[in-house]
Amino acid sequence: MLTISQLAAYAGVTVRAVRHYHQIGLLPEPERDASGYRRYSPAAVVSLIRIRILANAGVPLSQIGQMLEADASTFAAAIEEIDRQLVDEIARLEASRKQIAQLAAGDRLALAPEVIAYLDRLRDIGVSERVVAGERDSWILMSARWPDRVREWMPSKIAQLDDPQLIRLYRILSEIFESDTGDDARLVEAADILASLAEQAYSSGEIDLGAVAQDDLPFDLLDALAVEADPRVQRLLDLMRERGWDGLARLERLAEPPT
């Protein structure tokens, strides 16, 4: 007859594990000796090892009991199911590794390389860090909402940065938000350029980001984010409304031009 620690040692598990198996009814409680100690027969070692074989194979403890009693076909089906779950879990971890590799590859926010390129391009044309940070946050939101489509959109966004009007717009915005003064004339100028660009896009039938913009991620959120970062953005929004446009991240023509 064996004590619990001997049993555990033979089977290569901890005493605590054995007691746990008793608790959940996986391994039957043996008789106790006079002092209340559990006393095990050698056969218990075999039972315990069989349990561990299944547990090591990834079978949840809650299923092991049934599996040890099951007939061959039931057993095989259960095994297949467990294997499917293992495959899924492995796939999930592999996906995590890819994510982590992206993070390690310099970019701490897992933005697509195209977005990184876009932000770098902004810096190249003289856009201030503050404005770039605002753009970055916006693209973080966009990437979270449309992780796949963002990469498709970037080439045209990058191409647009060749437009001298757009470059001028970004530079003005940089100057405004780099300074602490409320330079309203600059804001008006920015609004004019923005309205002009919107007009061009509208007449050429170009609809910035496609139909996705309709309902799903309110572009209002992006605007609100910008306003929060710098309240002067609110003034810019107002100026745009005066010019017949609603929003900023996504411009929409107002139904009725305000009086």
Residue ranges that bind DNA, judged by CB under 7 A: 3-6, 13-17, 19-20, 32-38, 55, 60-62
Q: Which does 3 bind (CB under 5 to 8 A by kind): its own copies, DNA, none?
A: DNA
Q: Which does 60 bind (CB under 5 to 8 A by kind): its own copies, DNA, none?
A: DNA
228 binds, among DNA, its own copies, none (CB under 5 to 8 A by kind): its own copies
CA dist., res. 77 & res. 66, Å (int) = 12
Least distance to DNA, CB of residue 54, Å: 10
Query: Distance between CA atoms of 239 and 232, rounded to whole angstroms?
Result: 11
What is the closest distance, in whole angstroms, from the C-beta atom of residue 127 to its own copies in the complex?
19
Looking up tokens 């309902």 gives: 215
Q: Backbone phi, then psi, for 2, in 5-degree steps?
A: -115, 150
The position carrying tokens 């572009």 is 219
CB of 253 to its own copies, least distance (A): 24
Nearer to its own copies, 24 or 76 (CB): 76
**Distance (Å) of CA 29 to CA 32, 48, 233:** 9, 12, 72
3-state secondary structure 204-225: CCCCCCHHHHCCCCCHHHHHHH
CB of 110 to its own copies, least distance (A): 5
Nearest residue to 62 (alpha-carbon basis) of 72, 53, 51: 51
Q: Which residues bind its own copies (CB under 8 A)?
A: 10-12, 41-43, 45-46, 49-50, 52-54, 56-59, 72, 75-76, 79-80, 82-83, 86-87, 89-90, 93-94, 96-97, 99-104, 108-110, 137, 140-141, 144-145, 217, 221-222, 224-225, 228-229
Identify the three-state secondary structure at position 32. strand
